Amino acid sequence: MDGIISFFTNINFEVIFQLLFVSLIMLAGPVVIFVLAFRGGDM
């Protein structure tokens, strides 16, 4: 049980958040393009 707790405390949350934000930024580009194409190219 103690090993599980130390495993969770040793997770580097900063790296997890950086990967999360990078993936969100990479997903945001195609989403904007699809929304523009869906709306006919005008904001």
Domain that holds residue 31: 12-43
Q: Is residue 1 part of a domain?
A: no
Spatial neighbors of 36 by CB under 8 A, at least 6 apart, are: 42, 43
In a domain, 39, yes or no: yes
The pTM for the full model equals: 0.50
6-39: pLDDT as tens digits: 766 677 888 889 999 999 999 999 998 888 888 8
DSSP code string of 6-32: HHHHTS-HHHHHHHHHHHHHHHHHHHH
Instruction: Give the gyration radius of the chain's Cα atoms.
Output: 19
Determine, yes or no, domain membership for 7.
Answer: no
Q: Is residue 5 part of a domain?
A: no
Does residue 19 belong to any structural domain of this protein? yes
pLDDT at 21: 95
The total number of structural domains that make up the chain: 1
